[in-house]
């Protein structure tokens, strides 16, 4: 995991150095932020549909972690009523939902496939940088999102049936391949 964090910090430093103007930084940050949900849903869907049993299970646990962490993040946003740096009238700043999703995704993939850690944590850190660069969130909101996504994903991968009571990541008997719920059901939070 530490090599993933080091790689991610290098990516964030490179992104910052590659943006000589605010407009350049905003364009790159927008691209990273906008790519998160399609990248996460696309990757996990492909794993569920096209993967072997291990990959399919990882995709289902990934969906379980992302959906659960998104639901908790949205609940916290409503409960804390915290503003965003770029919009003091908004009341949905804490925690960063993008960062929560990115770190939940990174934790699930790096748990099952440790060699992916530098890439998925690098992407998660780049997402965190993008939310700060765009002033959508402050450091506390971003760090809370990272901690929340990592913690809930860790709970998901270590719990048989995940966090959503087996609705997304069902329990399996050895040698049994189960199909998860239809993909349309998994997109209700997106």
Task: State the pLDDT at residue 65.
Answer: 96
Residue 124 near residue 107, CB atoms below 8 Å: no
Quickly state the pLDDT bin for 104 (edges 50, 70, 90): very high
The residue range of the domain holding 7 is 2-186
Report long-range pairs for 165-170 (Cβ below 8 Å, ≥24 apart): 168/60, 168/63, 168/64, 168/67, 169/57, 169/60, 169/61, 169/63, 169/64, 170/60
The structure tokens listed for 175 are 């040698």
Split into its structural domains, the chain has a count of: 1
Q: Give me the count of residues in the chain.
A: 190
- Taking only the tens place, the pLDDT of each residue in 47-81 is 998 878 888 989 999 999 999 999 999 999 999 99
- Taking only the tens place, the pLDDT of each residue in 130-166 is 999 999 999 999 999 999 999 999 999 998 888 987 8
pTM given for the model: 0.80
Query: How large is the average pLDDT for residues 110-124?
Result: 93
Query: Domain holding 123: CATH number?
Result: 1.20.144
CA distance 145 to 142: 5
Task: State the pLDDT at residue 170.
Answer: 61
CA distance 58 to 44: 8
């Amino acid at each position: 995991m530490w090599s993933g964090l080091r790689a991610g910090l290098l990516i964030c430093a490179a992104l910052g150095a590659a943006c000589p103007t605010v407009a350049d930084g905003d364009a790159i940050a927008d691209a990273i932020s906008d790519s998160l949900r399609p990248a996460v849903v696309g990757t996990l869907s492909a794993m569920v549909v096209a993967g072997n049993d291990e990959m399919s299970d990882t995709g289902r646990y990934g969906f379980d972690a992302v959906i659960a962490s998104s639901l908790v993040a949205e609940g916290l946003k409503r409960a804390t009523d915290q503003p965003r740096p770029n919009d003091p009238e908004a009341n949905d700043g804490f925690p960063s939902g993008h960062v929560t999703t990115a770190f939940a995704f990174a934790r699930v993939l790096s748990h099952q496939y440790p060699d992916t850690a530098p890439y998925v944590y690098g992407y998660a850190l780049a997402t965190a940088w993008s939310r700060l660069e765009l002033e959508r969130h402050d450091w506390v909101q971003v760090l809370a999102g990272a901690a929340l996504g990592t913690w809930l994903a860790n709970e998901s991968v270590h719990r048989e049936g995940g966090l959503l009571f087996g609705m997304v990541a069902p329990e399996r008997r050895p040698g049994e391949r189960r199909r998860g719920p239809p993909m349309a059901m998994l997109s209700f939070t997106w």
